[in-house]
Amino acid sequence: MVTMSIRDVARLAGVSVGTVSNVLNRSDRVSAETAARVRSAIDELGFVPNSAARQLRVGHSSTLGFVMLDMGNPFFAEVGRGANDAAALAGLSVLLGASDQNSSREGDYLDLFEEQRVRGVLISPIGDVTPHLRRIRERGIGSVLVDRNGTGTGFSSVSVDDVAGGYAAARHLLDQGRRRIAYLGAQFEIQQVTDRLKGARRAIADVGGATFEVISARGLTVSDGRDVGKSLGKRAVRSWPDAIFASNDLLAIGLVQALILTGTARVPDDIAIVGYDDNEFASAAIIPLTTVRQPSRLLGTTAVQILLEEAADSKLEPRNVQFQPQLVVRQTSMVESGAS
């Protein structure tokens, strides 16, 4: 590995290393002609600064870490994009890690980020705020919870009001006249999953006269939803729910697909379905999916902004920004009135 150092540049340009460094970082303190000479030496040697050395000296890196729950989920991909954009604006880059809902991987990534002395970490935590996370914060590394309300935890957070989203989804089903509601979830240790459930329960209680059940899927993917759809077919028809609120779009899409393709039930006639996220595929599903939209990109940019503000002034109180989700009604929940 051929490696040029600032020293080589200095020698070639006939200046001291300090000057080269100044050209790189505080170009106002150096005369125009020396700067030019140094720059041409840099080009000639193909010098690229070693960020490890800089980092060692200044004490922290110029990256942010983001531990995301699931990188295959378009919702998080979009959050990541937002974070990236905001970070780039501040000259930072984002180191991405996918915990894939596995808490030991979550911990591994936090360790990694800590070793790298990242400028701050964004995390969509799997469950509770772990001791791991607390330690990172005590160390002085700013952290913002993403897609998770951190009120009371002492952490700043950027989230969407999942209880309200769950309420809106269930309420909509009830308003459509459905009375045997089911909530389809998985991995109930994930806060969002239980918050949406909580909202749904609240709506049921408010309206009254409806039954409610919780169905567990194995995971939160399309294929898990498909499995649930298939197994539903094996239950006695009269025990079926007449509406299912799924904790994300992927599950809902899989569910709808299984119901339709196996001819188990008509959607929405027999069973109405509502998803959550409004990802790119919700509107393109077998039957366009009624769902709850979240401002995903905004979540990412806001999280980074908060992180940077806190890094600039460490005495700031934690902020918990909560966005409101928006119900998007499409065809999986609307029986067309007027049609036969």
Partner DNA sequence: GAAGGTGATTGAATCGTTTCACAGATTAGC
Partner DNA sequence: GCTAATCTGTGAAACGATTCAATCACCTTC
**Cβ atoms 335, 266 nearer than 8 A:** no
- Angstrom CA distances, 165 to 90, 197, 246, 296, stand at 32, 10, 12, 14
Residue 150 interacts with a second copy (CB under 8 A): yes or no: no
At residue 185, φ and ψ (nearest 5 deg) are: -140, 180
Q: By CB under 8 A, is residue 270 in contact with a second copy?
A: no
Query: Which one of 23-31, 93-101, 126-134, 181-189 is the stretch in contact with a second copy (CB under 8 A)?
Result: 93-101
* Residue with smaller CB distance to DNA, 20 or 87: 20
State which residue, 5 or 153, has the beta carbon closest to a second copy: 5
39 is an interface residue for a second copy by CB under 8 A? no
Which two three-digit tokens encode residue 64? 């942010």
CA dist., res. 270 & res. 258, Å (int): 14
Q: Rounded to whole angstroms, how far apart are CA atoms 337 and 151?
A: 43
| Stretch of 15-23, 72-80, 159-167, 262-270 lying at the interface with DNA (CB under 7 A) | 15-23
Among 57, 139, 238, 315, binds DNA (CB under 7 A): 57
The three-state secondary structure class of 127 is coil
Under the criterion CB under 7 A, does residue 36 sit at the interface with DNA? no
- Looking from the CA of 3 toward its CB, the CA atoms found within 13 Å total 5
Min dist. Cβ of residue 312 to DNA (A):
16
Identify the residue among 36, 40, 44, 53 touching DNA (CB under 7 A).
Answer: 53
DSSP 245: E
Closest CA to 158 of 297, 308, 299, 292: 299
Residue 95 interaction partner, one of DNA, a second copy, none, beta carbon < 5-8 Å per kind: a second copy
Asked if 147 and 79 touch (Cβ cutoff 8 Å), the reply is: yes
Of 107, 127, 219, 288, the residue at the interface with a second copy (CB under 8 A) is: 288
Does residue 139 touch DNA according to CB under 7 A?
Answer: no
Q: Using CA atoms, how far apart are residues 127 and 195, in angstroms rounded to an integer?
A: 12
Closest CA to 291 of 74, 16, 60: 74
From candidates 20, 35, 80, 308, binder to a second copy by CB under 8 A: 80
In the chain, what is the straight-line distance between the N-terminal and C-terminal CA atoms, in Å? 74
Maximum Cα–Cα distance across the chain: 88
Report in angstroms how near the CB of residue 109 gets to DNA at its nearest: 19
Q: Which is nearer to a second copy, 52 or 205 (CB)?
A: 52
338 is a contact residue toward a second copy (CB under 8 A): no
**Residue 274: strand pairing partners:** 245, 290
Size of the site for a second copy (CB under 8 A): 59
Closest CA to 122 of 282, 284, 308, 263: 308
User: Which of 318, 23, 265, 323 is CA-nearest to residue 151?
Assistant: 318
Q: Does 317 bind a second copy (CB under 8 A)?
A: no
From the list 52-60, 93-101, 185-193, 204-212, the region that binds DNA by CB under 7 A is 52-60
30 contributes a contact to DNA by CB under 7 A: yes
Which chain residues interact with DNA by CB under 7 A? 3-7, 14-22, 24-26, 29-31, 33-35, 47, 49-50, 53-54, 56-59
Which chain residues interact with a second copy by CB under 8 A? 1-3, 46, 48-53, 55-56, 59-61, 71-72, 74, 77-78, 80-81, 84, 93, 95-98, 100, 109, 111-112, 114-117, 135, 138-141, 221-223, 226, 250, 253-254, 256-257, 261, 280-281, 283-288
